[in-house]
Structures are given as C-alpha cells and as structure tokens.
Structure 1
C-alpha cells in the first residue's frame, strides 16, 4: 500500500535516521517538507537542509544534530498529531505546549508553517502537524 501521508513519511524517515545515528537523511521534496525542515532548523533539531535533484527526483537532505560525546540524538521523539483521516486544529489559546516548552509543536497556519511559540507570538492557530522533542 502506498503511503498517502508525505508528512508521516518524512517524520518516520527522520525518526529512523536519528535512532540509527545517521548523519543525514533523504526526504522527498515538497513545499510542506521544506517548511517543516525550516522549523526544525530554526528550533535547532537539524543543523541544515539542502535541496537536491531535479523534477520528480527532488529530495531534501537533512543534516541531523547530536549532542555529547556519545552522540545522543537531539530528536528523541517525533509524533504525527493531525492525520489525513483526522485533522487536529487548535486556536491560539489552545495551542499545545510540548514537554512544558522543551519540545516543539509544528503548526500549519494561514501565515505558513511555524513552531507553536511563533504561532502564539503572532496570535494565529492552525493545524497541529506534529510534536518534536
């Protein structure tokens, strides 16, 4: 069965790569995956991402970050919240705090994809895509 949820696919690839302590991981490129990667970079979970390839074979190369000499992954958990079968929307006041602010919720708003912190600052709500911590 084909995966019809590219966001879940992206999060699974990131989760698997960070559990296996890979330096990089490849993700099929889309505007949404670029936006999520940008938020992960702003929040310090990945060091960088680059777009490679042309046309259909475009993909993002994410550079994962690790801490300490034992290379503990900075991304310990990635959870999909809103799914294609059950969308989860929250207004500004209802936006979740992940691990009391230690984690980040990635929200798709009318002003673009952003972290829960930025969405609160700008006073917008939206679809809760995932939690990362």
Structure 2
C-alpha cells in the first residue's frame, strides 16, 4: 500500500492525519455494519477485505467487512 501526499496550490497539506489502526500485535476487524465513519464522512478508513483493499464507504456498499488498516483525513 503506497500513499502519496497531496498539497494545495499554496503548498498546504491536504492530508493532515494518517493513523495506523491494525498493528502486528493487535489486529482490528469489523463487520460490514461496524465500519466506522471518520470525522462524519470527511475522512476515510482503509480496509483489507476479501474483495481487496477498499475504502470504508466502498466496503459498506459492497456489504463486506474486514481488517481496518488506517484512518486518513
């Protein structure tokens, strides 16, 4: 998984926070109805699902849960 930082025309960061949720010693799994909304929808959570790596909203639409990798906002 590669994440590229994005900057505005003024040079300000667009992505201000990236938080790793699952760690090697502590995995966090969620069902499709337990996928968290990050900052009331302003951010996204990234999940590893049986359908591949998906954003939280996409996983909800597809009806799959999985391991939460990180939150981004």
The interval holding the TM-score normalised by the smaller chain is over 0.9
Q: 1:106 aligns with which of 37, 46, 60?
A: 46
Aligned residue pairs total 73
Aligned: 1:96 with 2:33: no
Give me the CA root mean square deviation: 1.2
Displacement of 1:72: 1.3
Structure 1 length as normaliser, TM-score?
0.52
Aligned: 1:65 with 2:6: yes
Instruction: Return the alpha-carbon distance in structure 1 between the equivalents of residues 21 and 47 of structure 2.
Output: 10
Partner of 2:67: 127
Instruction: Return the alpha-carbon distance in structure 1 between the equivalents of residues 53 and 6 of structure 2.
Output: 21
Runs of 4+ residues deviating >4 angstroms: none
Instruction: Tell me the secondary structure at the aligned position of residue 26 of structure 2.
Output: coil
- Where relative contact order (Cα < 8 A, 6+ residues apart) is larger, the structure is 2
Aligned: 1:76 with 2:7: no
Gaps of 5+ in 1: 1-32, 41-61
Structure 2 length as normaliser, TM-score?
0.92
